[in-house]
Structure 1
């Protein structure tokens, strides 16, 4: 695989042979174009690395999965390999997050397996509220059926929000249009679990 740094060096060398000083001066259009190109290439390379890591997670079992989890500070709480894979992927997602709205959308989408188009992120300045706040809503409640995932989502969103940004709330939507705050959703899921265990 071509390294982005090598590619940038080769391109700047080629341009410098023809147009000396154009790639070293940050004010030139050529420098700006090359910077944009290199930044996109780096993002693409990072995405490829993430895909490779996730493939390794999908194929790992037992001790191998434990080692992958340990590499991101995630430790097994039970024997459920599938949920542990999910926890590891979520930890990778948060490690690669910059706290942007797009990163939060990706995180919520991957944790709950919900299409991004169903999630609404409202920044405070757009609604007349605190300019440094964010509200997450519109997530259909049907995607909140696993209480472990919802609990993990609560922790991850707190870590994923950029420093200095206040989380105004996370809300699920019912078919009726009513909104359920995430802590209430957890109570509903926990009461359903207790009822199912009792055989109700």
Structure 2
């Protein structure tokens, strides 16, 4: 993704957050702009959005997908914006590039690849919830949606935690965000590794 496209997406992202009129939203925006690489980070190391700006693009795609859900009309627009745009803020400042030898067409070549290194390993959904909560107040349902957006991919669920089922039974928004995340990841975004 070129810098001009990233700039446009970043402007759209910030404008969407501002429309929520949440107390603390300007501080959260400043944090993302000045203290993180959120707007330039990839969404993953080698799958969906594995390119500069991939995390930003993914967040906007999740927001669009969430708004397409028939049940989205049950929620205020600011709730949908908050949970969709902030669900993966845990990934900011976690990716860097390294040169590695990779095999292509039977030959080893040196390539730049993304490497994930988390300086604050709180857990995926938990960390996004923790960061967002430093700046803005979230409803219980918004918090549950962000916390459990990974669904069955969440390590706590895989370890036998029953919180996912309880959250999904109690909070439809949590299910909706998970499904929007899956649609954006697997149906919308280019899964080709781009460097």
Q: TM-score, normalised by structure 1?
A: 0.28
Structure number with higher relative contact order (C-alpha < 8 Å, ≥ 6 residues apart):
2
Q: Look at both structures and tell me which one has the larger radius of gyration over its CA atoms.
A: 1
Structure number having the greater helix percentage: 1
Q: TM-score, normalised by structure 2?
A: 0.28
